[in-house]
Every structure is written in structure tokens, then in C-alpha cells.
């Protein structure tokens, strides 16, 4: 009898008194819509119910799960690594671009465009095994600090998004990263930072080669980009690798537009979530004119497609996992 009474009492507890799955999200439309969507697709009694196998959620990384200003953090790693390599062997700085990069001259790299970026990535990322490269990334994350916040880069992950990832997994979703960042770079920290294991991290990848000449066979990173996981490449990589169309996608820039568009165009309940960087005080405010994380199509077309446009300044009570 005691158990029956207790169960009856618990059933009367209002939803508002239950644990908040998104405590760093302010009470606003964005939070309400996300929770309503998750509730609908996980309740077997509702017509929107989606089986656990189909509960796939995909997220961009740069600007969506962690910060991306003043430049992508992987580029900062590449510049730091190149400078360190040049200390041991200055002869590797064979071009003006590499010489500028080793000095931390971001302007010179930007002026060189795509070709300059590839040159820096080839010089700093290739010629080593995947294991050696990832060890270098882990060492860098231990000591590197952001030039403006002085935070470790892996503490500049967004607390509200970490909560969203955890909430989705608690409700039977499988969460993936689908980012333009390098797959071998992100796999170093994704599990600890986001709870997403390496096999659920999709990204851009360089050419690789199998080398069994040494005592132990290794996968070696080679020159050249094999696949760019950005824009239309994102849904292509999702279909190729995951094999299911997600029911939820999150991004922050027009590089994510195709992923959100493809996700929300499917049958049944779907949700697109777009993080809009509006907080110049706690982070950075940027969108249409920004060379990093440019956001035009998502703002103009996303609302008509039913996407949740997250206003960072208004919707988040806290920004980083490591501060504020």
C-alpha cells in the first residue's frame, strides 16, 4: 500500500518541479521547443514517437560545440606546431607562407586564401602516423591557452550544448559530430569534452597511407585533403558513414546549412538548431560579415523551415564550461 501511495504522489508532481535537463538555458522559446521535440519523439503514446534506432542527432563543432574566434582552433594548433617544428629544423620553412605562419602571422595566411591554409596544414599535419599526430594534439591541449580568454581550448566548449548532448543521450539519442574540422584532431578530445566517442566523429580528413615497413604497421597522414566535410559534404558524409538521415541537426554557420536542410526535409518529426552568436560581452557577436562562421542563409531561411534560432545572449545563462 505504501508503494501505491508513493507512486500516486509522485505522479502528481508538476513537470516544472522535475529536474531541468537544460539548466544553462534560460526559460525561452528555444529551450521550450527543444524539450517539446525531445518529449514528443521519445513518448510511445504520442504520434510523433521515433524508435531509438532512428534517434540520430548530428552537430557541427566549431562555433556550435566550442568557440571559433578569432580563427579556428585547429589552425592555431597548426601554427604552434609548425613553429615548434621549425625550432628543430628551420629548413622546413620553405615558402613565405610557412615563414609567416611560424611567426603567427594570421593576416598573411588569410591573404593567401585556401592554398595558404592547405600549405600550413600539409606542413604541420602530414608525414607522421595518426597516433603521433594525435599525441601532439593532446600535448598541445594540455598547455595551450586562448589568446583572449586565457582558457584551455577544451574548456571553451559551450556548457548549454554539453547539456543538450547529455539530455539527448539520456533520452535514447545517438549523438555525432559532423564538422569541417579535421577528424583526427577532433577525435582527441571529443569523448572527454562531449561524451562522443571517436567512431561518432565525422570530419575533414587528409590523405592517409598504410605503412608496414617498420616493426608495427601504422596509418600515416600524407599531403593533401582527401575529403572536406563542409557544406554539401556534410550530408554526403552522414549518408555514407552513418547510413541514416538524422532527426535533429545543430550548427551555427552557412557551412552547416545543407546538413540542417537535409535533416529537416525528411519525413516525420525533425528539428534544426542554429546557434546565433549574439553575445559580444561574454563571447563574440558575428554573423553576416564574419570571415569565420559566416551566417546568412540560416538566418534568412531557417525560420521558415522551422529551425530553432538560438540567441546566445538571450537564451544562455552561461557560455563556456570553463568560465561564466
And the C-alpha cell for 309? Answer: 534560432
Give the 3-state secondary structure of residue 77: helix
CA-to-CA distance for 213 and 233, rounded, in angstroms? 34
CA-to-CA distance for 226 and 206, rounded, in angstroms? 5
Taking only the tens place, the pLDDT of each residue in 157-201 is: 999 999 999 999 999 999 999 999 999 999 999 999 999 999 999
∠ CA 176-182-183, nearest 5°, is 45
The order of strands in the sheet holding 174-182 is: 218-227, 201-211, 174-182, 56-59, 248-251, 271-276, 308-311
Residue (of 26, 264, 16, 306) closest to 163 by Cα position: 26
pLDDT band for position 222 (50/70/90)? Answer: very high
End-to-end CA distance of the chain: 48
Taking only the tens place, the pLDDT of each residue in 239-269 is: 999 999 999 999 999 999 999 999 999 999 9
Number of neighbours of residue 225 by Cβ within 10 angstroms: 16
| Confidence (pTM) | 0.92
> So what's the pLDDT on residue 109?
87
Alpha helices in 103-245 (DSSP H): 106-125, 130-143, 159-170, 183-186, 190-194, 233-241
Residue (of 290, 295, 321) closest to 70 by Cα position: 290
Total residue count of the chain as it appears in this document: 324
pLDDT band for position 49 (50/70/90)? Answer: very high
Tell me the sheet residues that pair with 251: 274
pLDDT band for position 11 (50/70/90)? Answer: very low
Taking only the tens place, the pLDDT of each residue in 263-290 is: 999 999 999 999 999 999 999 999 999 9
Residue (of 59, 66, 64) closest to 175 by Cα position: 59
Amino acid at each position: 500500500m505504501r508503494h501505491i501511495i508513493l507512486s500516486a504522489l509522485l505522479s502528481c508532481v508538476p513537470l516544472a518541479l522535475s529536474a531541468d535537463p537544460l539548466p544553462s538555458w534560460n526559460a525561452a522559446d528555444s529551450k521550450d521547443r527543444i524539450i517539446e521535440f525531445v518529449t514528443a519523439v521519445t513518448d510511445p503514446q504520442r504520434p510523433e514517437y521515433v524508435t531509438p534506432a532512428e534517434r540520430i542527432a548530428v552537430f557541427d563543432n566549431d562555433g556550435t560545440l566550442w568557440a571559433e574566434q578569432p580563427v579556428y582552433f585547429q589552425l592555431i594548433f597548426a601554427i604552434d606546431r609548425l613553429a615548434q617544428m621549425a625550432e628543430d629544423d628551420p629548413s622546413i620553412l620553405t615558402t613565405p607562407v610557412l615563414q609567416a605562419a611560424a611567426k603567427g602571422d594570421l593576416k598573411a595566411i588569410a591573404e593567401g586564401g585556401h592554398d595558404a591554409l592547405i600549405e600550413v596544414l600539409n606542413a604541420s599535419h602530414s608525414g607522421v602516423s595518426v597516433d603521433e599526430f594525435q599525441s601532439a594534439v593532446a600535448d598541445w591541449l594540455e598547455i595551450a591557452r586562448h589568446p583572449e580568454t586565457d582558457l584551455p581550448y577544451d574548456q571553451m566548449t559551450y556548457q548549454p550544448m554539453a547539456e543538450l548532448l547529455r539530455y539527448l543521450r539520456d533520452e535514447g539519442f545517438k549523438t555525432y559530430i559532423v564538422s569541417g574540422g579535421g577528424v583526427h584532431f577532433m577525435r582527441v578530445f571529443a569523448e572527454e569534452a562531449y561524451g562522443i566517442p571517436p567512431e561518432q566523429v565525422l570530419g575533414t580528413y587528409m590523405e592517409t597511407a598504410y605503412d608496414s615497413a617498420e616493426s608495427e604497421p601504422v596509418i600515416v597522414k600524407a599531403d593533401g585533403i582527401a575529403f572536406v566535410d563542409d557544406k554539401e559534404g556534410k550530408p554526403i558524409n552522414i549518408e555514407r558513414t552513418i547510413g541514416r538521415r538524422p532527426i535533429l541537426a545543430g550548427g551555427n554557420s552557412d557551412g552547416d546549412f545543407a546538413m540542417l536542410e537535409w535533416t529537416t526535409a525528411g519525413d516525420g518529426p525533425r528539428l534544426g538548431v542554429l546557434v546565433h552568436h549574439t553575445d559580444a560581452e561574454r563571447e563574440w557577436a558575428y554573423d553576416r560579415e564574419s570571415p569565420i562562421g559566416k551566417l546568412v542563409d540560416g538566418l534568412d531561411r531557417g525560420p521558415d523551415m522551422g529551425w530553432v534560432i538560438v540567441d546566445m545572449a538571450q537564451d544562455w545563462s552561461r557560455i563556456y564550461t570553463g568560465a561564466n
